[in-house]
Amino acid sequence: KNQVEQSPQSLIILEGKNCTLQCNYTVSPFSNLRWYKQDTGRGPVSLTIMTFSENTKSNGRYTATLDADTKQSSLHITASQLSDSASYICVVSEKDGGFKTIFGAGTRLFVKA
């Protein structure tokens, strides 16, 4: 069964610190992987997308990495800000010519002053 597992479930860091969130998946055949940010009470918003051939993708202070061989991805947040407090969701899509997208349960990040 295709799955997307994220760790940790939740994380508390101090403002200004860096952190890394993990995503492991078993989706096959693989098409692409997205990281979404979901603020409390809002819908998810896409941060990055990576295909099989891409190892790294940055969006400001957010850097996503992908290792398609080990089926692992990480999202690194640099110099965290209070506004980074949110859930971060890893989403993996199958390459089947149709439509199949699997969402991870998310990592809840709390950034404290």
Partner 1 sequence: NAGVTQTPKFQVLKTGQSMTLQCAQDMNHNSMYWYRQDPGMGLRLIYYSASEGTTDKGEVPNGYNVSRLNKREFSLRLESAAPSQTSVYFCASSEYLGSSYNEQFFGPGTRLTVL
Which residues of the chain form contacts with partner 1 (CB under 8 A)?
A: 4, 9, 31-32, 34, 41-46, 49, 89, 93-106
**Biggest distance spanned by C-alpha atoms of the chain:** 46
For the bound state, the minimum distance from the C-beta of residue 82 to partner 1, rounded and expressed in Å, comes to: 21
Q: How many helices (H) and strands (E) does the chain have?
A: 0, 11
If the CB atoms of residues 99 and 113 are measured against partner 1, the closer one turns out to be 99
For the bound state, the minimum distance from the C-beta of residue 64 to partner 1, rounded and expressed in Å, comes to: 14
Residue with tokens 């950034």, as numbered in its chain: 111
If the CB atoms of residues 33 and 77 are measured against partner 1, the closer one turns out to be 33
Instruction: Judge whether 92 and 3 are in contact, CB under 8 Å.
Output: no
